[in-house]
Chain A
Amino acid sequence: MRQEPIAPHALPFPPLTRGWGWLAWFSTTDHKKIGILYMVTSLFFFGVGGIEALLIRIQLAAPDGKVLTPQEYDAIFTMHGTTMIFLVVMPIFIGLANYLVPLMIGARDVAFPRLNALGYWVFVLGGIVLYLALFTGSLANAGWFSYAPLSEAAYSSRPGVDYWIVGLIETGVGTIAAAVNLLATIVRYRAPGMTWRRMPLFVWMMMITSLIILYALTPLNAGLIMLLGDRLLHMHFFRANVSGGSAILWQHIFWFFGHPEVYIMALPAFGIMSEVVPVFSRKPIFGYTFVAGSGIAIGLLSFAVWVHHMFAVGLSTPMNAAFSAASMLIAVPTGVKIFNWSTTMFRGRLRMTSSMYFAAAMIIQFVIGGITGVMFASVPIDWQLTDSYFVVAHMHYVLFGGSMFGLWAGVYYWFPKITGRMMSERLGRWHFWLAVIGFNMTFFVQHILGLLGMPRRVYTYPGLPDYAALNLISTIGAFILGIAVLLFLWNLVSSFRHGEEAGDNPWDAWTLEWATTSPPPEHNFEKLPPVRSARPLFDLNHPEYADHARSSREAKA
């Protein structure tokens, strides 16, 4: 049964001129347009957060830097972390999921299109409020986890932290709305035949991510409300110096959110990897059930490890020991995924596209970040290295080397579907190599700096042996990475304008989003192929090798 051609030519990019012209982007409830809005907004904030990162690196390029004052430096590293986490990585994955999940499960749209639009605009409002603080002359400057009592009015008396709190509550509300929407969509709108075991792994990972969002972000919002109460209404939650409030309580609440948050940012990248690696290895994923199952294990365990961010507090030994063990345990399901991807590549017919380059680099870099993560699960190592540059190196290997490289693999993979045009492979290769060199130059040396004892979040350092050289290497690396990002943006723009026509399924991929035109029409599908396995399009295009007929083929042989 061959699939009928859906439309003779790719439709134009989502029509900008219909309805109220470009204003239609403000009123749209189409999941694809909202997905694009999310991603473009995140790219904008990626620029903002990136400039903040470069400012940090300029300040630290040489000992006794004078580019930024200590106060400015505090505000910039706070806003860099907050921006990258809440306004870049989370929303860009939510945008990608918004675009892809309905297509991958063969649905017309998300379950609640208007709620979807509301979620996006509330998120944008949060991002704006976060930066509106600039007009008060004070940005938030208590770090991305805003520890009490530093974040209390007594020590951060200017309104930056208040804007930070309100902005985060708003992005949180928008994100929860998006998560509810994705979950209802996945539960209710899968195509006929798409059982849980036939669902694309990206959809699996977004489902688990959405559940983590539901149960991690409401505690954060509760904590933020308490902190705001402390600051504005002089309440007593986290003010230890007056009548028994507890600064540690803030840490518990924040990290109960904060550690699952790491997986909110990592699991979508795992999902992308589980789509990209099989397609470019020309094999089904090795151990589908293990990828999905280890995702569930990660989701559950992510709520049981938060105290490993608080080893230095001096909590009881049994408490530290239990959370140390749980933190080491969570490395197991994460490691399982690494094996799934490597064994999928093993003896595959690899097609080394830019997307696959990023996927391969992601595996290696994520493993490095994972290994340092397991080190931090051990209490004595944590005591030695906490609050040093080793932590900065670790988390950037996970979040940049892992999540961001995974995201780039996904962008090169799905850009043809979203725009109908291929991205330039030549620019892609330049982007890739500069990013790998720049990223590792920036952050690998920070491991050494951390071991030498360089503390994070201090605006400068004295001319100690090796400090200057290593920091200079890091700064040069950051600028190479900056050039890589500019090349990436240029690739996006120029490929969007002049890229080769992609056609419906340029990679001979097998999930349902490739069964429609590139870009898809507003109603997504004219017709759907039957879903009899996890690779419906592969079954359709290669009936002699169809997955769902494998057992009968093997019986004949």
Chain B
Amino acid sequence: MTTANSSAQTGPTMNRHKVGMLFFISSEIFFFLTLLSSYAYLSGAFGNLPHQSLAVPRTFVFSLFLFSSSLTIWFAERAFHRHRYGAFRWWMLATMLLGLIFLSGQAIEYTELIRTGITLNYDVFSSAFFTLTGFHGLHVITGLVMLGSLTGLSFAGKLGPENESAVATISYYWHFVDAVWVAVFTVAYLIFI
């Protein structure tokens, strides 16, 4: 006979938070797959507009900042596991800074497009482009809020070894946001340009 409560959390590795986040992320992948395939589907009607109005090299440079943030958050997690919370906080701040730099790149891109009159409802390209990159941007912002909360809690001394899964799940999410941009950049800036 065993008691019911011992059934909880008996496994060795993955706890409920990580499992839940992975399932959630897998669902989000299909959200972006829909936006990406719609972008591809509609691209036949884009004409030369993406080619004329998107700054590929500049966006690539800004993308590098986002890509490297996957590395810094990995360092942050490693520091957290080694209980070096000072280093953890600095790596987290670095990750957030890289994310913010990426967002500012997107802001520059958007501003230029809007100044040339290419707004949300300009044509089919602008609709698809702003929706695709905009939803990615919203995910970056969500990630930044979560990273900021973790970092803030850590500065307040309220983040200890018992919060390992919080750090892990948020880092999963951040890697996911990063990986989505690889796909978005490839589709919007390299293939259908």
Contacts and interface: CB of A to CB of B under 8 A. Distances in A.
Interface stretch (A127-135, A188-196, A433-441, A548-556): A188-196
B58 interface: no
Interface in A189-225: 189-192, 214-219, 221-223, 225
B16 A188 contact: yes
A243 interface: yes
| Chain B: interface size category | 35 or more
Nearest to A190: B7
20 contacts: A106-B7, A108-B4, A112-B16, A181-B20, A187-B14, A188-B8, A191-B4, A192-B10, A217-B27, A218-B27, A226-B38, A229-B120, A235-B120, A236-B123, A237-B42, A237-B124, A244-B44, A253-B34, A253-B38, A528-B3
A243 B4 contact: no
Interface of B: 1-11, 14-16, 19-20, 23-24, 26-28, 30-31, 33-35, 38, 41-42, 44-46, 120-121, 123-124, 126-128, 131
A525 to B, nearest CB: 4
Contact of A108 (B5, B24, B27): B5
Contact of A184 (B2, B23, B30, B31): B23
Contact of B42 (A191, A223, A246): A246
B28 A218 contact: yes
Given A111-B20, A235-B127, A249-B41, A192 B30 contact: no
A218 B128 CA distance: 17
B120 A528 contact: no
Contacts of B9: 188
Contacts of A245: 42, 45, 124, 127
Contacts of B42: 237, 244-246, 249
A528 B124 contact: no
B31 to A, nearest CB: 4
Contact of A218 (B1, B5, B14, B34): B34
B124 A219 contact: no
Nearest to B31: A218
A234 B120 CA distance: 8
B120 A184 contact: no
Contact of B7 (A183, A189, A216): A189
B7 A237 contact: no
A453 interface: no
A221 to B, nearest CB: 7
Interface in A173-189: 176, 179-181, 183-185, 187-189
B50 to A, nearest CB: 13
A176 B24 CA distance: 8
Contacts of A219: 30-31, 33-34
B2 A189 contact: no
A107 interface: yes
A514 B81 CA distance: 43
A192 B121 contact: no
A192 B127 contact: no
A218 B1 CA distance: 42
Contacts of B10: 192
Query: Which of B4, B44, B126 is the most central at the interface, judged by chain A CB atoms within 10 Å of its CB?
Result: B4
A524 B4 contact: yes
A184 B20 contact: yes
A114 B121 CA distance: 39
Contacts of B14: 187-188
A528 B3 CA distance: 6
Query: Which of B5, B15, B19, B34 is the most central at the interface, judged by chain A CB atoms within 10 Å of its CB?
Result: B34
Contacts of A528: 1-4, 7
A112 B19 CA distance: 11
Contacts, number: 147
Given A183-B23, A188-B16, A236-B123, A252 B7 contact: no
Contacts of A4: 1
Contact of B1 (A180, A215, A234, A527): A527
B127 A180 contact: no
Nearest to B123: A243
Contacts of A111: 16, 19-20
Interface in A525-539: 525-530
Contacts of A234: 121
A214 B30 contact: yes
Contacts of A243: 45, 123-124
Nearest to B4: A525
B27 A180 contact: yes
A9 interface: no
B2 A526 contact: no
B164 to A, nearest CB: 16
B120 A233 contact: yes
Nearest first, the 6 A-B pairs at minimum CB distance are A244-B45, A525-B4, A235-B127, A214-B27, A222-B34, A218-B31
Query: Which of A105, A108, A221, A244 is the most central at the interface, judged by chain B CB atoms within 10 Å of its CB?
Result: A244
Given A108-B5, A214-B26, 17 more contacts: A4-B1, A111-B16, A179-B27, A180-B23, A215-B26, A218-B27, A218-B28, A229-B127, A230-B127, A235-B127, A235-B131, A236-B121, A243-B45, A243-B124, A245-B42, A249-B38, A527-B2
Contacts of A525: 3-4
B149 to A, nearest CB: 17
A246 B19 contact: no
Query: Which of A106, A528, A530 is the most central at the interface, judged by chain B CB atoms within 10 Å of its CB?
Result: A528
B120 A180 contact: no
Interface in A468-502: none
A192 B6 contact: yes
A426 interface: no
A120 B23 CA distance: 19
Nearest to B1: A527
B30 A108 contact: no
Contacts of A244: 42, 44-46, 123-124
Contacts of B20: 111-112, 115, 180-181, 183-184
A429 to B, nearest CB: 37
Nearest to B121: A234
A244 B4 CA distance: 59
